Structure 1
Amino acid sequence: MIEVSHLVKRHGPKVAVRDVSFTARAGRVTGFLGPNGAGKSSTLRILLGLDSADSGTALIGGKPYRTLRNPLRTVGSLLEGSGAHPSRTARGHLSWVAASNGIPRTRVPEVLDLVGLGDVGRKRVGGFSLGMNQRLGLATALLGEPEVLVLDEPVNGLDPRGIRWLREFLRSCAADGRTVLLSSHLMTELASTADDLVVINNGAIVHSGTTAEVSAGHTSLEDAFFALTGTEDR
């Protein structure tokens, strides 16, 4: 599971994350939501070892990300697109990532087919659309068959068919006992995909619980979000 405990991160005088604690459990999809600038990205970057906390811990399976050996075999992540160089082919990018984490190259065509890029694996990434680039990022996250997935706005650029595929895929991952932490601005997607929700605003957790618990007393998750974050009139 993912365990974030009393996490604090400052950027100069600004406190980006203040005493953030939450758990994302195995076998469940946990939605992580908040307005822009709420502290979501800072929290995820610390969790994935891309930044350091001033205090507190962010653990995956009881360990900091930076201590994981061949981390893609444990955690698959998507933060900002695929990260592939435009001059590389999709297959070449994934082959390099696989080699760096001790993953058999036979996984490359498997994940390309899984995300719907099997027919364009030999094309250069620079010619990819936003949606194709997002699918390549998902393929990279899935390359090591990880038990934990951390995805930030994974449906960005996907068409309706791709969004439905991803929703069903993430639900199947949870059903298989994997841990899925999903950050998104799309309330309808979170309402239909997430088992649990963690709501962050101004760097602090303002509510957490099952999707039904967070939505209770409101006509929709969107209404609950606006009420909890006070952002409806902004």
Structure 2
Amino acid sequence: MITIEQLTKRRGGRLVLDGVGFEARPGRVTAFLGPNGAGKSSTLRVLLGLDRADGGTALVGGRPYRSLRDPLRTVGSMLDGSGAHRSRTARAHVAWVARSNGIPRGRVGEVLERVGLADAGRRRVGRYSLGMGQRLGLAAALLGEPEALVLDEPVNGLDPEGIRWMRGLLRGHADAGGTVLLSSHLMGEVAGIADDLVVIAGGRIAARGTLDEVTAGHPSLEDAFFSLTGAAGPGGAGGAEEAGR
């Protein structure tokens, strides 16, 4: 279970998170949606211990990320791609991540195989395509066989086959009882995989609920998104509208 309650964060005098709260539950895929600058990345960074909040809590399995002894065994994450240095090989990067969390070296080959990088494991990351970098980031996230996955734009750079593969992997993780929290700008993809939605706009939660609940009264998820966030849709700029629950 991922639980975020009354999260607030100021940056440069500006309130970037204003009472953000939601849950991502085991056995379900939760999509976190919002326009650029809405607060998605700030929320995920606080959740993963990369930034500090001014108020509120962000917990994984009832504990702050910073208190987890071997965090990769509890939550696997991917923010901003693979995070690997361009001069390192993929295998060396994943091996370093495994060693830092006390994970047996044998897992390195297993996760590279699982994400389709077994044959490219000794290639330097600087020669990877964007999609291969995404697969590498996911390999590191899967190392500790975590219960929860937190992924920022996981299908970015993947081709159609890769997107289908990613969808199956995340769906399988949730169906096995795991928790999946992902952010994405691809509304069609989100509609095809998410059980629950959380929509953020201007640092505040605009809507949360099941896919059917959030899209009720709208012809599509895209239309619901534009209405809830006041973002500029196909018809032009929308007005600010809040539908928090």
Equivalent AA in structure 2 for residue 61 of structure 1: G
TM-score if structure 2 supplies the norm length? Answer: 0.94
Counterpart position of 1:25: 25
Counterpart position of 1:5: 5
Equivalent AA in structure 1 for residue 138 of structure 2: L
Equivalent AA in structure 2 for residue 112 of structure 1: L
Counterparts of 1:99 and 1:52 in 2: how far apart (Å)?
26
Find out whether 1:203 has 2:209 as its counterpart: no
How far did 1:207 drift?
0.4
Counterparts of 2:111 and 2:220 in 1: how far apart (Å)?
35
Counterpart position of 1:170: 170
Counterparts of 1:92 and 1:173 in 2: how far apart (Å)?
26
Counterpart position of 2:49: 49
- Aligned ranges for residues 144-223 of structure 1 at < 5 Å? 144-223=144-223
Equivalent AA in structure 2 for residue 63 of structure 1: R
Could you list the per-position Cα deviations for residues 31-58 of structure 1 after superposition, in whole angstroms to 9, with x for gaps in the alignment?
Answer: 0000000000000000000000000000
- Aligned ranges for residues 56-95 of structure 1 at < 5 Å? 56-95=56-95
Could you list the per-position Cα deviations for residues 30-86 of structure 1 after superposition, in whole angstroms to 9, with x for gaps in the alignment?
Answer: 000000000000000000000000000000000000000110111100011111111
Counterparts of 1:37 and 1:122 in 2: how far apart (Å)?
37
Equivalent AA in structure 2 for residue 43 of structure 1: T
Equivalent AA in structure 2 for residue 121 of structure 1: G
Structure 2 portions without partners, runs of 5+: 238-245
Counterparts of 2:204 and 2:41 in 1: how far apart (Å)?
13
How far did 1:216 drift?
1.0
Work out the number of aligned pairs and report it.
234
Counterparts of 1:172 and 1:83 in 2: how far apart (Å)?
25
Counterparts of 2:86 and 2:228 in 1: how far apart (Å)?
41
Counterpart position of 1:130: 130
Counterpart position of 1:14: 14
Counterpart position of 2:241: none
Counterparts of 2:169 and 2:127 in 1: how far apart (Å)?
26
Could you list the per-position Cα deviations for residues 77-133 of structure 1 after superposition, in whole angstroms to 9, with x for gaps in the alignment?
Answer: 001111111111111111111011011111111111111111100111111111111
How far did 1:223 drift?
0.5
Counterparts of 2:114 and 2:60 in 1: how far apart (Å)?
25
Structure 1 portions without partners, runs of 5+: none
Counterparts of 1:212 and 1:9 in 2: how far apart (Å)?
30
Counterparts of 1:10 and 1:130 in 2: how far apart (Å)?
32
Find out whether 1:116 has 2:148 as its counterpart: no
How far did 1:230 drift?
1.1
Equivalent AA in structure 1 for residue 37 of structure 2: G
Counterparts of 2:152 and 2:108 in 1: how far apart (Å)?
22
Runs of 4+ with deviation above 4 angstroms: none
TM-score if structure 1 supplies the norm length? Answer: 0.99
Counterpart position of 1:225: 225
Equivalent AA in structure 1 for residue 67 of structure 2: T
How far did 1:27 drift?
0.6
How far did 1:141 drift?
0.6
% identical aligned pairs: 70
